[in-house]
Amino acid sequence: MEKKEHIISVLVHNKPDVLARIAGVLGGKGYNIESLCVNSTMQYEVSKIVMTTIGSKETVTRIENQLRRLVDVIQVDDLTNVESIHRELILVRLNLTADKKEQINKVIDTNKWKVIANADAYVILEIIGDQAQIGFALARLEPLGIADITRTGIIALNLEN
């Protein structure tokens, strides 16, 4: 069975322990959550959880069915099966050391990356993109010396209902 990454979108009731329940279902059955994003929807009492996990189609169907058993879960969708847009965001701090400063500024200019904070000693970038774009950015940033990085989980939205 071919294993691949699946993006699962889960609508849940916004309750204190709902994330623990979801994580418990996956962890308890031995599946890893590769990435995770949670926030409330336009209705405060409903939250959307977007998570990615790696597995075969059968495994992911099993996870979805297990999630649907949870009382606080309203809806589960595998966005991998439908046309959907995916985005991640990274915040990166690069230290502007004397030997790298020029090179860093050049790479930022070339790639038209957004600088959201800068000072003499550092620069912080905000980069948004799908997985390929983020991967591309990281490959270019790494040789420059990443001082620190924070990466969100993947968020996704299907094109049509």
Nearer to other proteins (CB atom), residue 56 or residue 103: 56
Q: How far is the CB of 142 from other proteins (least distance, A)?
A: 40
**Nearest residue to 40 via CA among 51, 30, 49:** 49
Q: Distances in Å between the alpha carbon of 26 and those of 5, 13, 114, 141, 155?
A: 15, 18, 36, 33, 19
The contact mask relative to other proteins for 95-114 (x = CB under 8 A, - = no) is --------------------
Q: What is the CA radius of gyration of the chain?
A: 19
- Find the binder of other proteins among 2, 30, 43, 58 (CB under 8 A): 58
Q: How far is the CB of 24 from other proteins (least distance, A)?
A: 5
Residue 65 sits in the site that holds other proteins (CB under 8 A): yes
- Find the binder of other proteins among 2, 17, 83, 99 (CB under 8 A): 17
As a whole number of angstroms, the distance between CA 147 and CA 143 comes to: 11
Instruction: Name the residue with tokens 């297990």.
Output: 66
Residue 56 sits in the site that holds other proteins (CB under 8 A): no
Q: How far is the CB of 75 from other proteins (least distance, A)?
A: 14
- Find the binder of other proteins among 20, 115, 121, 157 (CB under 8 A): 20
Q: Contact 86/49 with Cβ under 8 angstroms?
A: no
Using the Cα atoms of residue 45, residue 46, residue 51 and residue 57 in order, give the sign of their dihedral. Answer: positive
Interacting residues with other proteins (CB under 8 A)? 17, 20-21, 24, 28, 58, 61-62, 65-66, 68-72
